[in-house]
Amino acid sequence: MDATTPKYSKARYDEIIKEVSSYLKKVGYNPDKIPFVPISGFEGDNMIERSTNLDWYKGPTLLEALDQINEPKRPSDKPLRLPLQDVYKIGGIGTVPVGRVIIMNHPGQIGNGYAPVLDCHTSHIAVKFSEILTKIDRRSGKEIEKEPKFLKNGDAGMVKMTPTKPMVVETFSEYPPLGRFAVRDMRQTVAVGVIKSVDKKDPTGAKVTKAAVKKGAK
């Protein structure tokens, strides 16, 4: 705020809030739940203690705003998961994840058969977009179109993906660290998403039934 004209300008602060709030709404956040804290890192204004240069501001300092952030709930009640960086020993189970994908940066259209690389935890595995199931509104999550022919920049959708080799993933609701992913193509991140469901299969391609899962757990 010490670099505004005039210094510590409330008008400039309000202008920034308006511009940033518009962007936050577009990506699905509620600006009313996000504090906008005017500070000067160079001068130390409003970082730890309130500043007389910003006497028009009645909200929290930066430190107070950080202290008000709720710590995310960790899945401490779940089985231990240890993603490995270099060595993988996977016991012959293939997966077909179904995930919600948001297209961020792709020059054209993405359709069935698209074959990018999926980055999930420490895995980097080529996948195939087997089927685009639906196009959805990324703010509300409501379905816009069933079985669309393609997705383009800014679209969100539910996509069935098939990896080219076995990989270990979880649904985002069960274990978030193993349930979020990035889609990369030509060294560019073209989409991000979360895994909504996982269809596990054995090496022969036969679907693993619930009865078989229960039997194996005994």
pLDDT tens digit string along 91-130?
Answer: 554 555 555 666 656 667 888 888 889 888 888 889 989 8
Burial class (CB in 10 A: 0-12, 13-18, 19+), 18: exposed
**Which ranges in the chain are annotated with CATH 2.40.30.10?**
94-201
94-103/188-201 β-pairing: antiparallel
Residue 207 has pLDDT above 70, yes or no: no
For residue range 10-54, list pLDDT tens digits in order: 999 999 999 999 888 877 788 888 899 999 988 899 999 998 999
Q: Which residues pair with 156 in a beta bridge?
A: 102, 136
CATH fold of the domain at 94-201 = Elongation Factor Tu (Ef-tu); domain 3 (2.40.30)
For residue range 59-90, list pLDDT tens digits in order: 999 999 999 988 877 777 777 776 655 554 55
Residues 157, 145 contacting (CB under 8 angstroms): no
Inter-residue long-range contacts of 55-62, CB under 8 Å, 24+ positions, other chains counted: 56/10, 57/10, 57/13, 59/35, 60/35, 61/37, 62/37
- Provide the whole-model pTM: 0.54
- How open is the CA angle 151-160-182, to the nearest 5 degrees? 70
Q: What is the mean pLDDT of the chain?
A: 80
Residues above pLDDT 90, as percent of the chain? 16
For residue 214, what pLDDT is reported? 46
**Cα atoms in the Cβ-side hemisphere of radius 13 Å centred on 90:** 17
Residue 203 has pLDDT above 60, yes or no: no
